[in-house]
Amino acid sequence: MDTLLLLALNGLIWGLIIALIALGLSVIFGLLDIINIAHGDFFMVGTILAWFALEITGSFWVGFIIVPLLCFALGALIQRVVIQPIRGVAALSIVATFGLSLILQEVVRMTFGATPRRMLSPIPGTVPLFGIQYDVYRVFAAVVSLAALGAFFAFLQHTKIGTWMRAVRHDRDTAIAMGIPAQRVYRYTFAIGFALAGFAGVVAAPITNVDFRGGVDLLPVCFMAVIIGGLGNLPGTAAAAILLAVMEGVIESFATPTVARITSLVLMSAVLLLKPQGLFKGHTR
Amino acid sequence: MTRRLVVERRLFFVFAAFMLSVPWLIPALASVFWVNVITELLIWSLLAASANLLFGYVGLLSFGQALFFGFGMYGVGIGITQFGLSFWPAFGLGVVSAMAMALVCGIFAVRLTWHYFAIITLVFSLIFYFLALTMKPLTGGDDGINFTLPPTFSFGGTQWSFTSTNFQYFFILATVAACFYLMHLVVRSALGKAFLAIRDNDARASLIGLNVYVLRLVAFVMAGFLAGVAGALFAFFGRYASATYMFYQTSGEAVVWAVVGGVGTLLGPVVGTSLLILLREIVSTHWEHYSLIVGALAIIVVIVAPRGLMGLWRDWFDRSRAREQGETQAVPHTEPRTEP
């Protein structure tokens, strides 16, 4: 019972982190029509930058603040250089972001090295939670991830740029006719997607391996969350990410992680075939 | 006869002479290392061709071709190690199991299109990738299964087998060429035209009486055949079968090679695969971080040549024709196809 609870809680926290990554993937996909193969690597870049920030400054919290900002800037740069010239042609976006993924992984391998490393937890210790001893840092990770999710939705609903983003997503031509600077919205959207993934990387860095291939396994899960949640349905995406990770955690308590992964994949194909619009009702693109 | 036709005809003869002579001369011109590189390149271009058949001709973007590649590999590997099959039955087992798997997956997958199709093929291939990882006694998991190669032909005392680099090269060249010829026949047939009709507008295709579902399934199984042949050849080539090649990155590479070369053209996948693999081999002998170059090249190609290298070639040809005819205005530029 204790293992079940522990793994379900771990799954919940991973689910929140994956939700952050998948939301970025979903807005980039919804607004720019970019199938972003490099999105897992954006997460990986976040974990690596967190590791470097800790190495250089000696404090995890410096990276916690700086890394999302760095990722935002990097995202804006990449959008300008790589994404803007291909103008949302989906087939080309796969190739371009595949190339981007190769470049990001190789740069990290050159600078960080190919050996996976572990980071020490910045908040050591455990707290009693539902009768088990649970890492304080994981609780903290859950809280900040939730806060970031909330902040992102608030940003979409209540700020000018967020409103622009929703407008361009809803009807690009009308939005441009109404004077919304679509090009700038694309730049912001891509940068925000990168920043979300990078932030997820910083939060996850102390509870996972810091590795140049860290994004590879994560990418399919994020795509699945986007599809299961319903294309363009952002709350659905977040819910699907959490559901997937918790389910895998629960199955892991009585089977190997691989069997858990297979089970969730089989369920996923059932959802895709029976309800291709996604599990959750709501506004879609 | 206009000059353009003369040029076109000359170019065709040069190309045909190149295709007919150079591949056969390679073992005489190149070292064993490069013969092996080109052998591998031929196999991968067949996998890229299978992605191209689906995406370029039917408009279905598959992220799961590695699954059928893997079944081709394991059909050969398991056939030889578990059932003690000789070369041809093992080859047949690989190809047939890949096609059977494509049929089973296709029945479900081709009900969906576009993003959903891409994701469901990805999900199917991941399911079997993880299954192959767990079924260690049968598949060898991550390490894969190694086997000793049975001879391809034996007449009494004389044997031909893949232990000879040149025989291996010629056998794979002939098989890949035969597959491309088959694909050429299909694309030019009524079936191929039906595929194109579905790619361009599936609603219209169904209104003129085409059974879109069955045609998509046929294309999917054909693509499974191509990927299965590629996988079986790769198993013979490497003398092993491994789950690592069933991961989604292999499928993604196949799509990238096809798009870089030019989707919807017969030889685009060969061009794209050749460029990226030759570049990788040339740079990797000098510089460890060759991935940077390959990644940058993939990005540059899609920015400069959105319809792939074959598209670039055709654009150049169209422009030279326009000059020929003395047209003052530019050739209307055809936009790259966005969504099928």
B306 touches A: beta carbon within 8 Å:
yes
Tell me if B241 sits within 8 A of B145, measured CB to CB.
Answer: yes
For chain A, what is the domain count? 1
Contacts of A88 in chain B (CB under 8 A): 338
In a domain, A223, yes or no: yes
Task: Kindly state whether residue A232 falls inside one of the protein's structural domains.
Answer: yes
Q: Give the residue numbers spanning the domain of A194.
A: 2-113+136-274
Asked if residue A45 belongs to a domain, the reply is yes
User: Cβ B127–A273 below 8 Å, yes or no?
Assistant: no
Q: Is residue A284 part of a domain?
A: no
| CB of B289 less than 8 A from some CB of A | yes
- Looking at CA atoms only, how far is residue A124 from chain B in angstroms? 34
What's the token pair of residue A253?
């308590």
Which tokens sit at B308?
A: 């792939």
Nearest CB to A100 within list B124, B127, B295: B295
Asked if A102 lies within 8 A of B291 by C-beta distance, the reply is yes
pTM of the model: 0.82
Residue among A36, A265, A273 with most chain B CBs within 10 A, to mutate: A265
Query: Cβ contact (<8 Å) for B120 and A37?
Result: no
In a domain, A126, yes or no: no
The whole-number pLDDT of residue B331 equals 46
- Taking the mean position of all CA atoms in its chain, how far away is CA A130? 28
Taking the mean position of all CA atoms in its chain, how far away is CA A227? 14
Could you report the per-residue pLDDT of A243-265, keeping only the tens digit for each? 888 888 888 888 888 888 888 88
Q: Phi first, then psi: give them for residue B172, nearest 5 degrees.
A: -70, -40
- B246 with B125: CB under 8 angstroms? yes
Element of type H or E holding B153: strand B153-155
Instruction: Please give the Cα distance from B80 to B85 (Å, whole number).
Output: 5
Residues of chain A with pLDDT under 50: 283-285
pLDDT value of position A133: 81
What is the number of other CB atoms lying within 10 angstroms of the CB of residue A255?
A: 13
Residue B57 is predicted with a pLDDT of 92
Query: What phi, psi does B330 have (nearest 5°)?
Result: -70, 155
Write phi, then psi, for B240 (nearest 5 degrees): -160, 165
Tell me whether residue A124 is in a domain.
no
- Count of H-run helices and E-run strands, chain A: 11, 2
- Residue A125 lies inside a defined structural domain of this protein: no
Residue of B nearest to A224 (CA): B119
pLDDT in tens, chain B (340 residues): 566 667 777 777 777 777 777 777 777 777 888 888 889 999 999 999 999 999 989 988 888 899 999 999 999 999 988 888 888 889 999 999 999 999 999 998 888 877 788 888 988 888 898 888 888 778 777 778 888 877 777 666 677 777 778 888 888 998 999 999 999 999 999 999 999 999 988 889 889 888 899 999 999 999 999 999 999 999 999 888 888 888 888 888 898 889 888 888 888 899 889 988 888 888 888 888 888 888 888 888 888 888 888 878 877 877 777 776 765 444 444 444 444 4
- Nearest CB neighbour to B298, from listed A98, A110, A276: A98
pLDDT at B298: 84
CB contacts, 8 Å: B115 with chain A: 35, 227, 231
3-state secondary structure of A126: strand
Instruction: Encode pLDDT of A91-141 as tens digits.
Output: 788 888 888 998 999 999 889 888 888 888 888 888 887 778 888 888 899
With a pLDDT cut of 70, the percent of chain A lying above it is: 98
